[in-house]
Chain A
């Protein structure tokens, strides 16, 4: 598959004007330089403003001190054990809840998308539950299920479920009627239609929702820990806040951001593998030229 694309792309590339290729390269350099400049302005500005006392570093921290805080945590550990343990706990809660939430969302979304009656009966209830600010449930879950893993995992499931559910439902509804009719005539049973036509077709929607819902999962785990826990990055944020240490809050935030970026990359890889059958789309890079 990739070879055919390379073959068809090669002659097109060879006729490209060298001046054009040069322009593309120059543009790329400009973009990278501009990105570096934005970084310097934001963090340099932050550092400068806090050093000159224009902004109070008691509230807003300072980049160099944030880095120092992170290094201390990595080297000497946190009050609750090593930083790696905190990261591990948060990732464990996030991933377990994410997997269960996605599975429930996909199964129920496809079921409701396929069975009209089920959608008509349960539809209003799901809308009502969805309109509740679910993050508040964290408070109840912490009381009901304690300071351990369960309360966080449950909060994550609640947050992940709805975003996946609505996408799977929509995806199951939008399947091309011709594909279903064709499969039925070829001899597919309703179950085979669901598994081999509806599910793969809805996958485009479901995978799109995973990007957002992993973010939700991480938020759920952190908020759950913030409300009450014995370990985890959310607890680290709560503890830093209680000891008036904004640098700790920011350091934990950056660690979380790195986790989110890595997960985003993994989900994109999964997406590419599962949607290999789709025609290649032009990437942002070429579209921008």
Chain B
């Protein structure tokens, strides 16, 4: 269970000004709920994830996980980054077993657990490879196994598949759903892709153009299990897409207009 109450986050810009990334944001994500967060570029989506993870502190307001205020990185938190964050000098097996090892498990137990998770993400046989020897999709699988092995109660994914090609993306999305159904953490899935958001989530949250605040929340009542590549042909999916896009479109326009004017100012 994740609760954000009146959360505001300000950053000091290098020029000396203050940039407000999030303003007075309220949001609740239930236990085991899959929540996707969409919004235009620069609306503070990623900032929201870092606040829930405890990597940053809010400037005002409070973030609660299971009723407790977030104070530093929680033991039950998992985070999948947009860029590669697996350790390049560790083999696949050592990368996946890193979590249990950091948390004090002995090598044999950690390796055994890691082999289990590697089998679940379809990477059995790749234990001794280094990350640079894998494709982008395989490295993402390593990252997923690395997070899921800690059995997180809340899992944050910050545009995890945006660097992958379209086909790999929908396959990875299916993998993610399967893993989620296995351990059922509360998920916050940050994305700029509305189609991906609807296909995966129980709930889609639209953030306004920065400073980010909740513009709209849509329940996605599509039946599970879903196949990401096919669900987009469902008439109800198309209906939902149109409704949410109406809301998102305005925010994207505002953000785009701002971007283009700043470019003109610089020019």
Contacts and interface: CB of A to CB of B under 8 A. Distances in A.
Nearest to B79: A185
A215 interface: no
A187 B85 contact: no
B109 interface: no
Contacts of B102: 183, 186-189, 192
Contact of B89 (A178, A187, A189, A277): A277
Given A4-B133, A277-B130, A181 B99 contact: no
A184 interface: yes
B213 interface: no
Q: How big is chain A's contact interface, by range?
A: 20 to 34
A4 B84 CA distance: 22
Interface string B83-107: 1111111100000001100110000
Dominant secondary structure at the A interface:
helix
Interface in A172-231: 176, 178-179, 181-189, 192, 196-197, 200-201, 203
Given A183-B98, A185-B73, A186-B150, A197 B87 contact: yes
Contacts of A32: none
B88 A178 contact: no
A1 B92 CA distance: 13
Nearest to B130: A277
B78 A187 contact: no
Contacts of A127: none
A279 interface: yes
Contacts of B86: 182
Contacts of B133: 1, 4
A75 interface: no
Given A181-B81, A196-B87, A200-B89, A187 B75 contact: yes
B224 interface: no
Contacts of A176: 85
Contact of B73 (A184, A200, A201): A184
A185 B130 contact: no
A35 interface: no
Contact of A178 (B81, B90, B150): B81
A176 to B, nearest CB: 8
Given A179-B85, A186-B146, A189-B102, A277 B132 contact: yes
A273 interface: no
Interface string B137-163: 000000000110010000000000000
Nearest to A276: B130
A179 B98 CA distance: 12
A44 B47 CA distance: 70
Q: In the complex, which of the residues B75, B129, B130 has the most CB atoms of chain A within 10 Å of its own CB atom?
A: B130
Contacts of B83: 178
A147 B246 CA distance: 85
B216 interface: no
Dominant secondary structure at the B interface:
loop
A25 interface: no
A116 interface: no
Nearest to A274: B89
A176 B147 CA distance: 19
B90 to A, nearest CB: 8
Nearest to B128: A1
A26 interface: no
A19 interface: no
B95 to A, nearest CB: 9
A176 B87 CA distance: 10
B98 A186 contact: yes
Interface string A157-179: 00000000000000000001011
A4 B129 CA distance: 10
A203 B53 CA distance: 29
Contacts of A278: 88, 132
Contacts of B132: 277-279
Nearest to B132: A279
B197 to A, nearest CB: 23
Q: Which 6 A-B pairs have the closest CB atoms?
A: A182-B85, A187-B102, A277-B89, A279-B132, A186-B99, A187-B103
Given A182-B86, A186-B98, A278-B132, 4 more contacts: A1-B133, A4-B133, A182-B79, A182-B81
27 contacts: A1-B130, A4-B133, A179-B85, A179-B87, A181-B79, A182-B81, A182-B146, A183-B102, A185-B53, A185-B55, A185-B77, A185-B78, A185-B79, A186-B102, A186-B147, A187-B99, A188-B98, A188-B102, A189-B102, A192-B102, A196-B90, A201-B89, A276-B130, A277-B88, A277-B89, A277-B90, A278-B132
